Chains A and B, each alone.
Chain A
Amino acid sequence: MKSLLATLALTTALTLPGIAMARPVTLTTMLNNYGGDGAYLALYVTDASGAYAGSLWMAGSKSKYYKHLTDWDRATSGNTAEIDGITGASVGSGRTLEVTIDLSDALFDAGYTLHIDAAVEDMRDSPNEVSVPLTTDGAGTPVTGRRYVSDFTYDM
């Protein structure tokens, strides 16, 4: 478990391209026109047993709102060290978030699941907005979110 986290931490650091056994993956998250302020999105991975494995991206910079990303907050105890260097701006209604990161090959076809928690100020928190197994076959197939995400795709 510990070694996997280390791998994730390394590979998600965009400053280390071309690392062995890793490949660039583009995560595309399109939002609905839900008609509110910018959405906070936490993208993270759980392992086959459902345990938190690591974070991929945090859209939204004010940590006081992270508690509204309920599942991520619960899994990480709100530890912002989990998202050091992989934090960006919140995503507006109807906009698209596109992030390219190097992900370890070991994450694919091994029971890992990518989750997105979403929250919008004064609107319903939406933990587990998206939940999609990481498989080589699943790449490029859009998945629908529950409330705010119109579709999510990971491309390799």
Chain B
Amino acid sequence: MIRALHRWPGLLAAALLIILTLSGAALSIFPAAERLAAPQAETGLSVATLATRIQTTYPGVEQIRRSPSGQITAYWFADGTPGAAVIDPVTGEGVGPADPNPVERWLTNLHRSLFLGDGGRIAMALSAAAMLILAVSGSALVAHRAGGWRRWFAPLRGPLSGRLHVEIARVAVVGLALSSMTALWMSASTFELLPIATSAPAFPSAVSGDTGVAITSIDLLGQTPVAELRDLNFPYSGDATDVFTLKTDHGTGYLDQGTGAALGWTDLTAGERVSETIYMLHTGQGAAFLGIILGLMALGVPVLGVTGTLVWLVARRSRPRIIGNQPAAKAETILLVGSEGGSTWGFAATLQQALSAAGQTVHVAPMSGFGPLRYAKAQRVLILAATYGDGDAPETAKAFLDRLKTLGTVPSAPLAVLGFGDRSYPNYCGYAQRVAAEAESRGWEVFLPFDTIDRQSPQDFARWGRLLGQVLGIDLELTHQPVQPATQTLTLVSRRDYGAQMQAPTAILRFALPRVALWQKLTGRGFARFEAGDLLGIVPIGSEIPRLYSLASDQRDGFVEIVVKRQPSGLCSAQLTQLAPGDTAKGYVRHNPGFKPGKGRVPLILIGAGTGIGPLAGFIRGNKRHKPIHLFFGMRNPKHDYLYGQDLSNWQAEGRLTRLDMAVSRTANPNYVQDALRAEGAEVARLIRDGARVMVCGGRDMAAGVADALADILKPDGMTPVALKAEGRYVEDVY
């Protein structure tokens, strides 16, 4: 719901909002420029003194105005010709023309009405309303995704367009909300929808009839500082019934031109004061610095428009069409999908195609469309569910849990739940787990245990598909490739072998950097931009499903490096570990922004075992600025699988690695990396208190052991690995 409230106003108003904000940002410069250029009055200067100075230079002066920037303008008649100038209050002489700036006029009219009169004003007011809706709904989305308002500035993960969108929005939203609210007030005021009382005093019914009082002898003008002046109107020459009219920040009054006596005064009404404050907050006139800030924030909107549209397009495209979907009442298999960005739909489509090809009748629907009464012929229910934020329902699963809780009887057709998530986030597959737990507590029979897919892993999905096929008694081969990436040919340059003696052959494979086309350089695609910690997808011969390996090198290193351990029956690892220099493999880069050491001098605690050293070695190699890095490295036997052994001591000598703690498991006293961590517990706790970032890479069991060890180490400080994860200070790359 909130998402729809964000998406549609955004898409509909995008073009107008871009015009509105660009013109607004340009307009924000003028008050500041005027403030800088305007000759300012000396403090304490009275209106009487100023008016006298001006009248000496321009005897025909009719009006003196002071703008909120402090700029003084005088208007006069001389020999029947009107004149006007910006005045230097020190001398009372003109220092520049008073004509309005034509560029500013043009921009103002574009900004408020697109040069289209009232129709344009209404369109722009609606755009401002759209911007307010976007600011509110967007804030709710950001808070929801981050897991609460307190985590407003939590680090972001995901594709660049989405990150950029939130990154800019969470800073700019304050200004955008303020500007849109003040815009709506001003529009309402222009269309006379606001009951604001005005405060002009009644024109004096009797005047002295004399003329020619000396300005210096008018008390009120002598008492009024120029800083409070807005407008001083002189009486018409030759009209003895006319008066001086003085407007200040406080109100309006009349002064007799013969005696200088005050003839009436009215203060500004509360409504006028509010209106003026809002005008100032919107235009920056009188608050030039605020205006510049608001202008800068407005500049974010065009970027937000483009990135927001990209996010929408990508999500839309990644949601495939389901071909041959069966009605709910006829289907044997009910496939319910809870998808956030759309990628889970892709898996659902693959599953539906495979089941249909095996002769099953399948009905695919979003989880939010859960309707067990319609599942007349259903023999099983499959739920594929992603997670939104910290264990919340994804977009297409809203209200599913509520419906399940209030259901009279659960369906007799048994259930299987498959969660989709990312282990580097806290509460991995949290929503799917809640669904599975709720189904269990309601007594819904389960025919396949709860399972998960990490980071859209095609292997995880294929493995789950085989389990499903076994239960159904069919041969189910799920080949799902979320987006078929374009691979490039990689040529092996060198290899370093380890572990052969332990029947665990492992190799550091170094490939030449493939040629990068110009368009790839421009868009950062392919091998044009990658860092250690990103993933290298290798498509083995005889399979369509790529395997992902963590990159141990940066594109600036000039080579592509991974660490591969030969798996007992692994197709891809077998092919890779048999490559000789000069041989080739097909691969592509998949960015992994969640697993990056981050910029700046924040210390790192790197924890890895076995091939998990790969990306960590890459981080250390790239640590040219010598930030403190403490590495915990687990291995079996330093003689056989001390990967990067020589490099690590070189890097330590060069200052790229501060400290190395090894844990050796195949000795008389087996020592695992979590044990090494506990042994250094005090130092680890100190580093984390000082803001260090923890990065873990390796097998799942090791990661779990590390998490337990860290929980114990952090406990005295009142911290938890979960909290660190939520802050983005504890990231994992596990397999």
A interface residues (Cβ-Cβ under 8 A, vs B): 35-37, 50, 62-64, 67, 70, 73-74, 77-78, 122-125, 128, 146-147
A59 to B190, CA, bound (A): 16
Chain B residues contacting A124 (CB-CB under 8 Å) are: 63, 75, 82, 84
- Chain A CB count within 10 A is highest, among B63, B102, B203, for B203
Find A122's partner among B105, B189, B203, B241 (CB 8 Å cutoff): B105
The chain B residue with its CB closest to the CB of A89 is: B117
The chain B residue with its CB closest to the CB of A61 is: B118
The chain B residue with its CB closest to the CB of A80 is: B192
Chain A residues contacting B102 (CB-CB under 8 Å) are: 35
- Chain A CB count within 10 A is highest, among B75, B189, B245, for B75
Some 12 contacts from A to B, beta carbons below 8 A apart, are: A35-B100, A37-B105, A37-B109, A64-B192, A67-B198, A123-B100, A124-B63, A124-B75, A124-B84, A125-B63, A146-B77, A146-B82
Chain B residues contacting A67 (CB-CB under 8 Å) are: 198, 200
B236 close to A (CB within 8 Å): yes
The chain A residue with its CB closest to the CB of B84 is: A124
Supplied contacts A36-B100, A78-B198, 9 more A-B pairs, CB within 8 Å: A35-B102, A36-B105, A67-B198, A70-B233, A73-B200, A74-B203, A77-B200, A78-B200, A124-B75
Are B84 and A62 closer than 8 Å at their CB atoms?
A: no
Chain B residues contacting A146 (CB-CB under 8 Å) are: 77, 82
B99 close to A (CB within 8 Å): yes
B51-89 interface (Cβ within 8 A of A):
63, 75, 77, 82, 84
Are B192 and A62 closer than 8 Å at their CB atoms?
A: yes
Chain B residues contacting A36 (CB-CB under 8 Å) are: 100, 105
Nearest Cβ in chain B — how far from A117, in angstroms?
Answer: 13
Chain A residues contacting B63 (CB-CB under 8 Å) are: 124-125
Contact status of A62 and B190, CB under 8 A, knowing A36-B105, A146-B82: yes
Find B190's partner among A64, A125, A128 (CB 8 Å cutoff): A64
Are A35 and B99 closer than 8 Å at their CB atoms?
A: yes
Contact with A along B188-206 (1 / 0, CB 8 A): 0110100000101011000
Nearest Cβ in chain A — how far from B120, in angstroms?
Answer: 13
A77 to B199, CA, bound (A): 11
The chain A residue with its CB closest to the CB of B231 is: A125
Are A122 and B100 closer than 8 Å at their CB atoms?
A: yes
Are A147 and B82 closer than 8 Å at their CB atoms?
A: yes
Are B75 and A50 closer than 8 Å at their CB atoms?
A: no
Chain A residues contacting B84 (CB-CB under 8 Å) are: 124
Chain B residues contacting A123 (CB-CB under 8 Å) are: 100
The chain A residue with its CB closest to the CB of B62 is: A124
Chain A residues contacting B203 (CB-CB under 8 Å) are: 74
A109 to B401, CA, bound (A): 87
Are B100 and A50 closer than 8 Å at their CB atoms?
A: no
Nearest Cβ in chain A — how far from B579, in angstroms?
Answer: 74
A37 to B117, CA, bound (A): 12
Chain A residues contacting B77 (CB-CB under 8 Å) are: 146
What is the total number of residues of chain B having a CB less than 8 Å from a CB of chain A? 21
The chain A residue with its CB closest to the CB of B63 is: A124
A77 to B200, CA, bound (A): 8
The chain A residue with its CB closest to the CB of B82 is: A147
Find B192's partner among A35, A50, A63, A128 (CB 8 Å cutoff): A63
The chain A residue with its CB closest to the CB of B65 is: A124
Nearest Cβ in chain B — how far from A63, in angstroms?
Answer: 6
Chain B residues contacting A62 (CB-CB under 8 Å) are: 190, 192
Nearest Cβ in chain A — how far from B286, in angstroms?
Answer: 15
Are B200 and A50 closer than 8 Å at their CB atoms?
A: no
The chain A residue with its CB closest to the CB of B196 is: A64
Which 5 pairs between the two chains have the least Cβ-Cβ distance? Answer: A124-B75, A122-B100, A74-B203, A147-B82, A36-B100
Chain A residues contacting B189 (CB-CB under 8 Å) are: 64
The chain B residue with its CB closest to the CB of A73 is: B200
Chain A residues contacting B192 (CB-CB under 8 Å) are: 62-64
Contact with A along B2-28 (1 / 0, CB 8 A): 000000000000000000000000000
Chain A residues contacting B82 (CB-CB under 8 Å) are: 124, 146-147
Chain B residues contacting A73 (CB-CB under 8 Å) are: 200
B587-619 interface (Cβ within 8 A of A):
none
- Chain A CB count within 10 A is highest, among B109, B190, B198, for B198
A70 to B202, CA, bound (A): 12
Chain A residues contacting B99 (CB-CB under 8 Å) are: 35
The chain A residue with its CB closest to the CB of B236 is: A128
A124 to B73, CA, bound (A): 10
Are A50 and B105 closer than 8 Å at their CB atoms?
A: no
A125 to B241, CA, bound (A): 20
Chain B residues contacting A125 (CB-CB under 8 Å) are: 63
A125 to B63, CA, bound (A): 9
Are A50 and B198 closer than 8 Å at their CB atoms?
A: no
Contact with A along B105-120 (1 / 0, CB 8 A): 1000100000000000
A23 to B65, CA, bound (A): 43
Nearest Cβ in chain B — how far from A147, in angstroms?
Answer: 5
Nearest Cβ in chain B — how far from A64, in angstroms?
Answer: 6
B198-242 interface (Cβ within 8 A of A):
198, 200, 202-203, 233, 236, 241
Are A50 and B109 closer than 8 Å at their CB atoms?
A: no
B165-209 interface (Cβ within 8 A of A):
189-190, 192, 198, 200, 202-203
Nearest Cβ in chain B — how far from A17, in angstroms?
Answer: 30
A64 to B245, CA, bound (A): 19
A36 to B105, CA, bound (A): 8
Nearest Cβ in chain B — how far from A51, in angstroms?
Answer: 11
A37 to B77, CA, bound (A): 22
A11 to B82, CA, bound (A): 36
Chain B residues contacting A128 (CB-CB under 8 Å) are: 236
Nearest Cβ in chain A — how far from B709, in angstroms?
Answer: 69
Contact with A along B33-58 (1 / 0, CB 8 A): 00000000000000000000000000
A63 to B192, CA, bound (A): 8
Nearest Cβ in chain B — how far from A144, in angstroms?
Answer: 9
A125 to B77, CA, bound (A): 13
A125 to B245, CA, bound (A): 13
The chain B residue with its CB closest to the CB of A128 is: B236
Chain B residues contacting A77 (CB-CB under 8 Å) are: 200, 202
Chain A residues contacting B245 (CB-CB under 8 Å) are: 70
Nearest Cβ in chain B — how far from A146, in angstroms?
Answer: 6
Chain B residues contacting A74 (CB-CB under 8 Å) are: 200, 203
Are A50 and B241 closer than 8 Å at their CB atoms?
A: yes
Chain A residues contacting B100 (CB-CB under 8 Å) are: 35-36, 122-123
A115 to B138, CA, bound (A): 54
Chain A residues contacting B109 (CB-CB under 8 Å) are: 37
A84 to B556, CA, bound (A): 76
Nearest Cβ in chain B — how far from A100, in angstroms?
Answer: 24
A70 to B63, CA, bound (A): 13
Chain B residues contacting A78 (CB-CB under 8 Å) are: 198, 200
Contact with A along B315-326 (1 / 0, CB 8 A): 000000000000
The chain B residue with its CB closest to the CB of A50 is: B241
Nearest Cβ in chain B — how far from A61, in angstroms?
Answer: 8
A125 to B85, CA, bound (A): 15
Nearest Cβ in chain A — how far from B112, in angstroms?
Answer: 11
The chain A residue with its CB closest to the CB of B194 is: A64
Nearest Cβ in chain A — how far from B100, in angstroms?
Answer: 5
Nearest Cβ in chain B — how far from A46, in angstroms?
Answer: 12
A78 to B201, CA, bound (A): 12
Chain B residues contacting A70 (CB-CB under 8 Å) are: 233, 245
